[in-house]
A and B are shown apart, each in its own frame.
Chain A
Amino acid sequence: MIGADAIIKCLEAEETEIIFGYPGVAICPFYNSILESGIRTILIRTEQNAAHAASGMARMTGRPGVCAVTSGPGATNVITGIATAFADSIPLICITGQVDSALLGSDVFQEADITGAVESFVKYSYLVRDVNDIPRIFKEAFHIANTGRKGPVLIDIPIDVQNAVINKFKYPEEINMRTYKPTVKGHAVQIKKVIKELGKAERPIICAGGGVLLSDAEGELRSFVDRHKIPVVSTMMGIGVMPSEHPLYFGMVGNNGSAYANRAMNESDLLIMVGARVADRAVNQPGLITQGKILVHIDVDPAEIGKNAGPTIPLVGDAKHIFDDFVKEDFECDHQKWLDTLQKYKTEMGRKRTPNPEYVDPAAFIRELSLKMKEDGIYVADVGQNQIWSCAYHIVRKGKFLTSGGMGTMGYSIPAAMGAKLADPERQVIAVCGDGSFQMSMMELATMRQHNIPVKIIVLKNNYLGMVREFQHYSYQDKYSVVDLSGSPDLEMIAAAYGMRFLRLSSMEGAPEAMEAFLENDESFLMECMIDPMDLVR
């Protein structure tokens, strides 16, 4: 057995079923050994998307997504995907081929110091120097990626290590790392303190972040808030923690969120932030969430607590464990008056739009589409105006809402949707992007076709990089610079070229029929919606 075989054995032991990647000479031993295994390989069309697809898969399965690329440009291309996963704490294992160990550091063909280059975007990285370390390293890597605050782990393996004979393969059962023991169980004293404050609070609110979804704690959180009638708002990454139309859910906070959600958070007297980083897009003025209120900050990463806002009660631990402990506590509270106030804000402060009837109204379109799609369907939003409209108008019922929140990486939706579809082929998966973000991942239509991944794609087309245009509208008095997307291809011809069904919708007239045709069966489909180029998300 050689190193490459050992890697495959490790992946099998971790129950990896699918790998996204792009081969090159330095990773060829691995791609040769994988032929003998049952692991399915998906040839992605650019390495960045291998990481995005693995991210989409990880967010569905709760296990690390795996991608494998070659040395040099293969490895450097994957960095944006790794950084995107890191910003949203998505567990990934990224395997990179490397030049021969003896040549390391001599700047030979396709050599890149990838462990050095990704240092600030990975939870951890390895450069494998001894073939006999492979089992231990993979065991540790999967453990690190998917415990504590999750994140990407990169394993760089020189070609000679992949080809070296391994003495004895044994996949370790235990992990022995003296430096890594994340705290998952909340401190009992801190939990009691939170419960005591909840008993006293008149206007409590929970702000749920992506950490709740990552720890699979939606059920625990929902049963806790249902029982005590505590209202919930979410960050962008926390969309889906509560069903959108749940009576206790009051929308997304932040400068792209709804006014009533922000008001609810700011007027509360007890704010419980859980699995959220308190970063600038969600909490523009950290002062507002600490002044005149008790701030409880729950996070599995102690470094996040107090980084952007100093909490009254810090609580380190995994959301699932902590809400499990909360549910066991008994206390009395009545927040009906507070809930009535929030309901009033929601009715009065909702977004008001005056859509241009000559175009498709993205708000109405997204709302209707989310009601027509399957209840447990997966909605993947890209980055740009499409993302903000999706956050505001998509209705999550039993499905998931996936997007790149922390890094805001354009082009995320199509590869992530592919990963999601492969993770759960029975579920309907829709990627919604703009004409800018679509063209950043357009090459993956070939991957969808080659590997039969029937993702449905909506392109909200306005011939602009809309979000930047909107920023230039407000901040530069409509002096537009480098946002015109003229020259974009005819999407009908693109769809035909890749053998996809296609439909163009020019206004809301005929929209219901178009959506039904788009959703009717499990085939890949490209739908272009012409939207008003001057439309604004705010």
Chain B
Amino acid sequence: MEMKKRIYSVLVENRSGVLCKVAGLFSRRCFNIDSLAVGETDDPAVSCMTIVSSGDDHTIEQIEKQLNKKLDVIKVKTFKEAQSISRELMLIKIKYNKNNRRDIMEICEIMKAEIVDMSKHLMIIQICDMPDRIKLMLKLLQTISIVEVARTGTLALPKCTENGD
């Protein structure tokens, strides 16, 4: 069966326990979660969950239906990666030395990443980009000793279209 990637943008009531209910739904019905990001929207009573998942056609449809069935879910939008603007933020702490500092700075320049903190041997790099570029950045830094990584998971909104939807 062909596995397809989908992004679910889920508006939910901003109440305690809702994240648990949505995450529990995925585990109980054996749906994958590739990433999950949650945050408040412009309306403080509403949160937006961006869930990246993959499955066959049947699973993709069931995920949307089961999400809609949850009483705390206000709206579910399902879209493909190509139909969306998606971004991820990554903070990466690395150990550097005199010999590789230049290389690192070059990588940052090429990848449009920023060095946001620094000490004698450590630095934190920040990158905000499309999920594929985040992966690439990690790969590029693979030869350098990585201390810690923190990622937000994908955030996405459907692209602006002519009808303004």
Q: Decide whether A and B assemble into one complex.
A: yes
Chain A residues positioned under 8 Å from B74 (CB to CB): 178-179
Q: How far is the CB of A468 from chain B (nearest CB, A)?
A: 27
Closest 7 CB pairs between A and B? A303-B65, A124-B71, A303-B69, A179-B74, A180-B71, A120-B28, A303-B66
In the complex, whether B77 has a CB less than 8 A from a CB of chain A is no
In the complex, whether B20 has a CB less than 8 A from a CB of chain A is yes
Q: Scan A162-198; emit 1 where CB is below 8 A from any B CB, else 0.
A: 0000000000000001111000000000000000000
CB within 8 Å of B: which A288-302 residues: 301-302
Q: Select one of B28, B58, B71 contacting A144, CB under 8 A.
A: B71
In the complex, whether B73 has a CB less than 8 A from a CB of chain A is yes
Task: Please report A residues at the B interface, Cβ cutoff 8 Å.
Answer: 115-116, 119-120, 123-124, 127, 144, 177-180, 301-303, 306-307, 310
Q: Indicate if the CB atoms of A179 and B17 lie closer than 8 Å.
A: no
CA distance A120 to B28 in the complex (A): 8
Given contacts A120-B28, A303-B65, contact A179 B20 (CB under 8 A): no
Chain B residues positioned under 8 Å from A124 (CB to CB): 71
Q: How far is the CB of B94 from chain A (nearest CB, A)?
A: 38
CB within 8 Å of A: which B90-145 residues: none
CA distance A119 to B27 in the complex (A): 12
Given contacts A303-B62, A303-B66, contact A123 B28 (CB under 8 A): no
Chain B residue nearest to A305 (CB atoms) is: B65
Could you jot down 15 A-B contacts, CB within 8 Å?
A116-B20, A119-B20, A119-B24, A120-B24, A123-B71, A124-B71, A144-B71, A177-B71, A178-B74, A302-B69, A303-B62, A303-B65, A303-B68, A306-B61, A307-B62
Q: Scan B45-87; emit 1 where CB is below 8 A from any A CB, else 0.
A: 0000000000000100110011011011110000000000000
Chain A residues positioned under 8 Å from B58 (CB to CB): 306, 310
Chain B residues positioned under 8 Å from A120 (CB to CB): 24, 28
Chain A residues positioned under 8 Å from B28 (CB to CB): 120
Task: Please report B residues at the A interface, Cβ cutoff 8 Å.
Answer: 13, 17, 20-21, 24, 28, 58, 61-62, 65-66, 68-69, 71-74
Q: How far is the CB of B16 from chain A (nearest CB, A)?
A: 8
Q: How far is the CB of A495 from chain B (nearest CB, A)?
A: 43
Chain A residues positioned under 8 Å from B13 (CB to CB): 179
Chain B residues positioned under 8 Å from A303 (CB to CB): 62, 65-66, 68-69
Chain B residues positioned under 8 Å from A310 (CB to CB): 58
Chain A residue nearest to B69 (CB atoms) is: A303
CA distance A115 to B58 in the complex (A): 30
Q: Indicate if the CB atoms of A115 and B62 lie closer than 8 Å.
A: no
CA distance A180 to B68 in the complex (A): 9
Q: Indicate if the CB atoms of A302 and B68 lie closer than 8 Å.
A: yes
CA distance A303 to B73 in the complex (A): 14
Chain B residue nearest to A140 (CB atoms) is: B71
CA distance A43 to B26 in the complex (A): 38
CA distance A9 to B25 in the complex (A): 34
Chain B residues positioned under 8 Å from A301 (CB to CB): 69
